[in-house]
C-alpha cells in the first residue's frame, strides 16, 4: 500500500517540479476561491459553543454582577436606585436585583440577569455596555467594578504574539535550513496550508457551530507542523542533490517519494484519530477544535506534496544550502543504563499527575489590573468566596411552593447564602441563588453542588457558570484519560501499517509515558505553584480544563509527526529534534499572551514537546527498540 502511495507521490512531485509557477498560481486561485466561498456560505466561530448548554440556563439567561463600594460611610436606602435604573437599560437586561449590602454597609452587590445567553451577547459587547452604564456613577469616593458570566466572556487582545511567533519561527528556520529560499518554502507552506484550512474551517462553520478558540489552536498547530514537514522534506531533498540528482528529479523521487509518504501518513493520522477520539469527551468546544485542526492539517499536507516540490524545482540548489539539519546524525549507542535512567526520570515526573484537578477558568486568575479580578477580590472580601460563583436554582412557577425549600436549605448550614425566591421576566419560573462557602474553583464547591442537587426535589435545575464549570471539569477529568488512550491506540493501529507490532506497541507505550510526564510537570508548575512567577500569579491555581485538553491536541499532533518520521527512518531523528526546537520557540512566543489560559496552554505544550522529542524520540524509543531486537533496530 505504501509503495503504491509512494509511486503516486513521485508522479505528483515530478509534475509539480516541472511546472512550479503554474502550481503556485493554481494554489493562489484555490485559496481565493476558498476565501470567497467561505465569505459567502461560511460563518464565524461562535462564543455560544463555549457557553453553558443546559435547559435551565437557556431559560434564565446569562448574568453579570456589579460591585459598588464607598471609600467612607455606608449606603442608605435609595442611594443606588439611579444605578439600578441605568443597568436595566442595558441591552438584553431582563432584571436587576435590589442591592445586597455587606455586613459593614459600605459594599453593595447588584445582580443583572439577561434574557439571552452569554454567547449570544458576546463578551466584548456585553462588557462594554456594562462599562458605559456604570461610568457616570464612578468617582466621588465611589468605586464600581463589574464581574460575572457576561464580562468574563471577554478576553483582551494582548501584544502581537502571533507576529512575534512567526518572527521567531523564521529566525530559527534560517538557522536550521541555512537558506532564505528554504525559509520561503516553509513560509509558503504555512501561508497556503493555514489559509486553505481556515477557509475550510469557515465553510464548516456554516453547517456546524465552531468554538471561538478553534482558529487560534489550529493556526498554532499549523505553524508548528509546517516547520516539521518542511524540515523533513528539505533534508531528503538535500541528500538527493548531494547524490547527484537534478533538482527536479530530487524533488520528485527522493523527497516527495520518501518524505512525502511520511508527511501524508502523519498528517492523515492526526486528521482522523483526533476528531474520533475527541467524541469521547462529549464537549462541543473540544470537538470543534479537533475538526479545525483536522482541516488545517489536511490543507498543509496537500500544500507540502505539491508546493514544496514545485518550489524546490524552481529554486534548485539555493534551497539546499547547509544548515543545522544538513549535518548527518552521529550513530549513538544507548545503553541499558541510559534507557533506565530516562524511564526513571519520566516516571518521577509523571507521579504528580495522580493529583491532577482541572477547572476551566476562574476570575481569580485574571490580572489584578482588570476590573473582573478587582470585582472578584472585593466580592470575596465583602460577601465571602462563594459569592463569586453562585448557583442559580430554577423551578417551574406552578410546580410547588419554593419558600419551604429555601428555608430548608438555609437550615442545613451547608451554604453561605440562600437568596429569597424571585420570578423571571415572563413569571413562568421561580429563581433563587445559593452560594457555597468556598471559591468557585475550590474542590469543596463541587461537593457543595452535589449536596445542593441531592437536596432539591424533582423538577428543580441548578444552573449558572459555576455549575456548568463544575460539571464540565468533573466530566473531562473522568473521560480525559480514556480519550488519550483511544487516540494513541488509533494512532498505533495506523503506525502498524508501515512497521511491525513491536515497533507500534513500543511507540505507543513510550508516547503514553511521555504524556504522563507532561501532565505531571504541568501539575507541578500550575497546581503546586512552582510556575506562578511565569504565569504572573500570586498563588497556585487549578489547571485550566481547556489548557489541559488543548495541550494534548498540540503535543499529540507534533508527537505523531515525530513518531512517524523516526519509525519510518531512524535517521530522521535529527529532523525531529530541529522541528521540536522550532515548535518550542513558537509556543514560548505565544505564551507571552496576557491571558492565563493561553499561557498555561503554550507552556504546557512546550514542556510536552520538549519531553517527547528529547526524551522519548531521541533516547527512550530507539533505546528500547535496540534492546528488544537482538540484531539491532532497522525500521522498515
Domain residue spans of the chain: 1-10+161-323, 55-152, 334-390+464-636
Please state which of the ranges 117-126, 459-468, 554-563 shows the lowest mean pLDDT: 117-126
Lookup: cell for 155: 478576553
Contacts of 452 (CB under 8 A, 6+ apart): 391, 393, 409, 414, 415, 434, 462
Lookup: cell for 436: 457555597
566-588 in b/e form (b: 16+ CB < 10 A) is bbbbbebbbbbbbbbbbbbbbbb
Could you give the C-alpha distances from 79 to 90, 145, 283, 420, in angstroms and in order?
19, 17, 44, 22
CA pair distance 523, 335, nearest whole angstrom: 31
User: Binning pLDDT at 50, 70 and 90, where does residue 444 land?
Assistant: very high
Domain 55-152: give its CATH architecture. 2-Layer Sandwich (3.30)
Classify burial at 634, counting beta carbons within 10 Å of its beta carbon; exposed 0-12, middle 13-18, buried 19 or more.
Answer: exposed
Cβ neighbours, 10 Å, residue 538: 12
Name the residue with higher pLDDT: 26 or 217. Answer: 26
pLDDT of residue 636: 41
Q: Residue 220: pLDDT above 90? A: no
Between helix 501-522 and helix 621-628 the angle, nearest 10°, is 150
Q: CB–CB of 557/221 below 8 Å?
A: yes
Give start and end residues of each alpha helix (H) in 496-528: 501-522
Mean pLDDT, range 105-110, rounded to an integer? 94
Mean pLDDT, range 297-325, rounded to an integer? 79
How open is the CA angle 138-139-143, to the nearest 5 degrees? Answer: 60
Contacts of 515 (CB under 8 A, 6+ apart): 484, 488, 552, 555, 608
pLDDT of residue 635: 45
pLDDT of residue 510: 92
What is this structure's pTM?
A: 0.86
Q: Residue 72: pLDDT above 70? A: yes
pLDDT of residue 612: 94
Q: How, if at all, do strands 391-396 and 93-96 pair?
A: unpaired
Could you give the C-alpha distances from 544 to 184, 469, 532, 556, 601, in angstroms and in order?
37, 11, 14, 18, 8
CA pair distance 485, 155, nearest whole angstrom: 33
Smallest Cα–Cα separation from 384: which of 77, 109, 150? 109
Domain 1-10+161-323: give its CATH architecture. Up-down Bundle (1.20)
pLDDT of residue 138: 92
Smallest Cα–Cα separation from 96: which of 87, 105, 104? 87
Could you give the C-alpha distances from 332 to 26, 338, 510, in angstroms and in order?
45, 11, 19
How open is the CA angle 491-484-509, to the nearest 5 degrees? Answer: 65
Cβ neighbours, 10 Å, residue 357: 15
pLDDT of residue 165: 62
pLDDT of residue 498: 63
Handedness of CA 119, 123, 127, 128 (dihedral sign): negative
Mean pLDDT, range 525-554, rounded to an integer? 83
The rounded Cα 588 to chain-centroid distance in angstroms is 15
pLDDT of residue 370: 87
User: Residue 273, SS3?
Assistant: helix
Of the CA atoms within 13 Å of residue 389, those in its CB half-sphere come to 27
Smallest Cα–Cα separation from 239: which of 226, 251, 227? 251
CA pair distance 232, 218, nearest whole angstrom: 21
Please state which of the ranges 120-124, 163-167, 250-254 shows the lowest mean pLDDT: 163-167
Phi, psi of 545 (to 5 degrees): -60, -45
pLDDT of residue 597: 83
User: Binning pLDDT at 50, 70 and 90, where does residue 257 land?
Assistant: low
Q: Which helix (H) or strand (E) holds 23?
A: helix 20-41
Cβ neighbours, 10 Å, residue 333: 8
DSSP per-residue string spanning 61-121: --EEEEEEEESSS-PPTTTTHHHHHHHHTSTTEEEEPPPEEPTTSSEEEEEEEESS-HHHH
CA pair distance 80, 171, nearest whole angstrom: 57
Mean pLDDT, range 571-595, rounded to an integer? 80
CA pair distance 509, 34, nearest whole angstrom: 40
Q: Residue 632: pLDDT above 60? A: no
CA pair distance 402, 421, nearest whole angstrom: 7
Q: CB–CB of 198/220 below 8 Å?
A: no
Q: Residue 285: pLDDT above 50? A: yes
Handedness of CA 479, 480, 485, 488 (dihedral sign): positive
CA pair distance 27, 19, nearest whole angstrom: 13
Q: CB–CB of 34/372 below 8 Å?
A: no
User: Binning pLDDT at 50, 70 and 90, where does residue 563 land?
Assistant: confident
Q: CB–CB of 96/110 below 8 Å?
A: yes
Contacts of 410 (CB under 8 A, 6+ apart): 418
User: Residue 175, SS3?
Assistant: helix
Paired with 192 in beta bridges are none
How open is the CA angle 214-218-224, to the nearest 5 degrees? Answer: 155
CA dihedral in degrees (463, 466, 469, 474; nearest 10)?
-90
Cβ neighbours, 10 Å, residue 621: 28
pLDDT tens digits along 42-66: 766 655 545 454 434 445 678 899 9
Q: Residue 533: pLDDT above 90? A: no
Q: Which helix (H) or strand (E) holds 110?
A: strand 107-114
Smallest Cα–Cα separation from 410: which of 401, 419, 402? 419
Could you give the C-alpha distances from 601 to 135, 546, 598, in angstroms and in order?
35, 8, 5
Paired with 113 in beta bridges are 63, 95
Phi, psi of 583 (to 5 degrees): -60, -45
Mean pLDDT, range 461-475, rounded to an integer? 87
Mean pLDDT over the full length of the chain: 82
Q: CB–CB of 321/179 below 8 Å?
A: yes
Amino acid at each position: 500500500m505504501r509503495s503504491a502511495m509512494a509511486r503516486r507521490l513521485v508522479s505528483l512531485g515530478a509534475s509539480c517540479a516541472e511546472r512550479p509557477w503554474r502550481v503556485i498560481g493554481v494554489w493562489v486561485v484555490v485559496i481565493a476561491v476558498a476565501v470567497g466561498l467561505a465569505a459567502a456560505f461560511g460563518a464565524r466561530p461562535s462564543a455560544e459553543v463555549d457557553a453553558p448548554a443546559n435547559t435551565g440556563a437557556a431559560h434564565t439567561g446569562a448574568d453579570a454582577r456589579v460591585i459598588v463600594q464607598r471609600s467612607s460611610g455606608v449606603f442608605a436606602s435609595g442611594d443606588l436606585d439611579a444605578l439600578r435604573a441605568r443597568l436595566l437599560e442595558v441591552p438584553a437586561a431582563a432584571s436587576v436585583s435590589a442591592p445586597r449590602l455587606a455586613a459593614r454597609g459600605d459594599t453593595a452587590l447588584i445582580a443583572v440577569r439577561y434574557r439571552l445567553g452569554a454567547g449570544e451577547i458576546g463578551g466584548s459587547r456585553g462588557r462594554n455596555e456594562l462599562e458605559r452604564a456604570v461610568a457616570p456613577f464612578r468617582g466621588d469616593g465611589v468605586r464600581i467594578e463589574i464581574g460575572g458570566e457576561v464580562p468574563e466572556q471577554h478576553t483582551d487582545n494582548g501584544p502581537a504574539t502571533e507576529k512575534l511567533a512567526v518572527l521567531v519561527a523564521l529566525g530559527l528556520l534560517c538557522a536550521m535550513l541555512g537558506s532564505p529560499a528554504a525559509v520561503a518554502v516553509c513560509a509558503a507552506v504555512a501561508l497556503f496550508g493555514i489559509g486553505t484550512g481556515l477557509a475550510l474551517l469557515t465553510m464548516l462553520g456554516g453547517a456546524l457551530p465552531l468554538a471561538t478558540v478553534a482558529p487560534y489552536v489550529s493556526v498554532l498547530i499549523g505553524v508548528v507542523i509546517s516547520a516539521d514537514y518542511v524540515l523533513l522534506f528539505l533534508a531528503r531533498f538535500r541528500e538527493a542533490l548531494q547524490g547527484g540528482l537534478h533538482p527536479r528529479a530530487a524533488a520528485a523521487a527522493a523527497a516527495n517519494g520518501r518524505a512525502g509518504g511520511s508527511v501524508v501518513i502523519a498528517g492523515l493520522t492526526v486528521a482522523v484519530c483526533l476528531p474520533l477520539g475527541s467524541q469521547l469527551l462529549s464537549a462541543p468546544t473540544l470537538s470543534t477544535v479537533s475538526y479545525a485542526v483536522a482541516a488545517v492539517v489536511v490543507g498543509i499536507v496537500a500544500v507540502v506534496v505539491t508546493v514544496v516540490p514545485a518550489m524546490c524545482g524552481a529554486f534548485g540548489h539555493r534551497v539546499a544550502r547547509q544548515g543545522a539539519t544538513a549535518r548527518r546524525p552521529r550513530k549513538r549507542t544507548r545503553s541499558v543504563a541510559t534507557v533506565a535512567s530516562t524511564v526513571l526520570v519520566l516516571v518521577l515526573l509523571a507521579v504528580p499527575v495522580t493529583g491532577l484537578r482541572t477547572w476551566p477558568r476562574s476570575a481569580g486568575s485574571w490580572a489584578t489590573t482588570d476590573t473582573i479580578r478587582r470585582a472578584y477580590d472585593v466580592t470575596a472580601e465583602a460577601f465571602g468566596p462563594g459569592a463569586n460563583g453562585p448557583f442559580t436554582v430554577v423551578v417551574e412557577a406552578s410546580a410547588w411552593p419554593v419558600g419551604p425549600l429555601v428555608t430548608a436549605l438555609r437550615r442545613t448550614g451547608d451554604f453561605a447564602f440562600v437568596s429569597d425566591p424571585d420570578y423571571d421576566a415572563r413569571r413562568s419560573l421561580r429563581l433563587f441563588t445559593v452560594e457555597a462557602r468556598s471559591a468557585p474553583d475550590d474542590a469543596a464547591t463541587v461537593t457543595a453542588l452535589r449536596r445542593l442537587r441531592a437536596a432539591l426535589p424533582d423538577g428543580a435545575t441548578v444552573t449558572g457558570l459555576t455549575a456548568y464549570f463544575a460539571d464540565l471539569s468533573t466530566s473531562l477529568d473522568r473521560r480525559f484519560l480514556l480519550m488519550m488512550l483511544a487516540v494513541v491506540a488509533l494512532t498505533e493501529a495506523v503506525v502498524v501499517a508501515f512497521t511491525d507490532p513491536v515497533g507500534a506497541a513500543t511507540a505507543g507505550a513510550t508516547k503514553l509515558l511521555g504524556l504522563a510526564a507532561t501532565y505531571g510537570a504541568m501539575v507541578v508548575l500550575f497546581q503546586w505553584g512552582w510556575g506562578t512567577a511565569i504565569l504572573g500569579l500570586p498563588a497556585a491555581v487549578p489547571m485550566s480544563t481547556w489548557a489541559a485538553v488543548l495541550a494534548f491536541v498540540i503535543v499529540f499532533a507534533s508527537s505523531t509527526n515525530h513518531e512517524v518520521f523516526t519509525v519510518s527512518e531512524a535517521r530522521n531523528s535529527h529532523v525531529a529534534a530541529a522541528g521540536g526546537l522550532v515548535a518550542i520557540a513558537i509556543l514560548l512566543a505565544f505564551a507571552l499572551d496576557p491571558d492565563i489560559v493561553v499561557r498555561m496552554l503554550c507552556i504546557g505544550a512546550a514542556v510536552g514537546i520538549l519531553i517527547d522529542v528529547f526524551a522519548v524520540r531521541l533516547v527512550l524509543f530507539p533505546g528500547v527498540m535496540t534492546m528488544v531486537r537482538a540484531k539491532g533496530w532497522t525500521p522498515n
